[in-house]
Structure 1
Amino acid sequence: MSNTTEINTPLYFSINEVAQILGVVPATIRNWEKQGYFVAQRSANSYRIYSLDDIELLKKIKQYSIDDRMGSKAIKSLLASQVATPPTLSGFEAAGTSNQPDRKLIGSKWRQYRDNQKLTLEDVARQVGISISYLSKIENGQANISYNILERLASFYGKSVLHFFEPEEAQRHLIEHDTGEPIQAGIPGVTLKSLISQKEHVLFPVMFYVEPGAGAPETHQHNGEEFIYVVQGQFRVTLNHTEVYNMKAGDAMYFKSSDFHSWTNPGKKVSQVLWVHCPVER
């Protein structure tokens, strides 16, 4: 594909580039797919391709499987509480649609960042080690760009690649009533809404809306700490297979994420539950 033709298409990386980002070998990523943790997108010539959001999901899979040494069943259960199982990366559909930012949009962000720092094309190109014309094409969405170049640009601006491409609206301090971003749970009868919109944070507060009989009955565990507060309805949490806690509105609960846990709504009405996860254990 020519670098002189405008490429207003989503930005994707090869499996080799993603392996470099994650610090694993490509065979590891392929093995994760074989185990059913995700379904990779494919390009027109059937090569695996990955977006920035895909990389975020794969980073979680790496944490669960390599860092936390969780078993396959536990990993699938945990992923099921966050995305559809098995997740198709970026929600890629047969028609080839995607909600990923395209190269033109990404290029405009690079240009805005450079302008904010009052830098010229020559200033940045010289420091990054690319030609002025190539940088100009990148900023105008008219050039193919590899992860290596993205990393060099992000490093020049003092940012990581993934951090750089997060949306500006992710800096909201106030989440007004019913404006939290929906989270794809992949669990029938369960709706989630994020209660935080920051680029850097430790706590993950989420509002759960659980239909009667719905939940995550398969036990799972991971790193961190959990806090639950039942806003309305009933909620049942089972710890370590035998400890059953039946909660009602106004009840609160705390436990280590390393405890095996599962949950469900045993009542006849929708339960609303504030769930706060801190992935770092004190």
Structure 2
Amino acid sequence: MLDNKDPGSLQISDISRHAGVSASTIRVWEQQDLLRPTYTESGRRTYREADLQIALAIKRMRTVEGMKIAEIKAALAAQAVASPDPVREADEEASTSEVGANLRMLRLARRLTIRVVAEEVGMDPSVLASIERTSLGMDMPLLKKLARFYGVTLNKLMGVAASEPMPDREFVTRDHGEPLPRLGLGVRMERLNMVRATMACKRWFVEPGVHSNGAYRHEGEEFLVVIAGEFEITIDHSRVHHLTPGDTAYFRSDMFHSWRNPGRETAELIWIGVGDDF
């Protein structure tokens, strides 16, 4: 096995930060055979995104559901049966995200250090270093700041391919849209209109407990409709709207907005935006 030079691999500090638990807690979970890292030739722990998803599940089962270790082991074993190769599946999904690599290329093109960029956007340099290396730990407010700092659109930062010219006839999407690079753990998006148009249409999937990690704003207008689950959106830091299937919301994008999934199941919604930065 090669030493830990794989830019997609995670360190124990990455797992600790993203899961919101201490490194010592991660080590205890390993001793309890809940997590199984691999080791480099130098003895350093290395993880894949599947391990992070397991750590997040363990934390949820411990803190929210109050499950005991034996119950957690049984639940994880059941998940492994349902998804026999979670590492491969997680790695395939992670490979679609180019955000970290794009951020690094933008920074190096300007001959800037991680510390300089982090100070300019108001973040911890170690977090930016982790994002560049793993494409994990991102959220919409942070990416908006980074896009503005580098003078690029969010789509450019995400590495989204340019849309096709507007066709002479209608455009129909069957079943699934084009998967987009993820903007954070627990958020998955599909682009529904792959043509150059005034509106950008996306299908969002937001897992339980996931949130935007703060409010953000930009030019344009937005409309969304909830298809499944629950979704909560807050406008101008004060107006909170709890949405369930069939509910819709419209707002100007230049108003601060934040969101979260307060429910127990994945929220699915269609989100339409007008503006270059949606």
Fold conserved (TM > 0.5)? Answer: no
What's the TM-score once normalised by structure 1's chain length?
0.43
Higher relative contact order (CA 8 A, sep 6+): 1
Choose 1 or 2 for highest CA Rg.
1
What's the TM-score once normalised by structure 2's chain length?
0.43
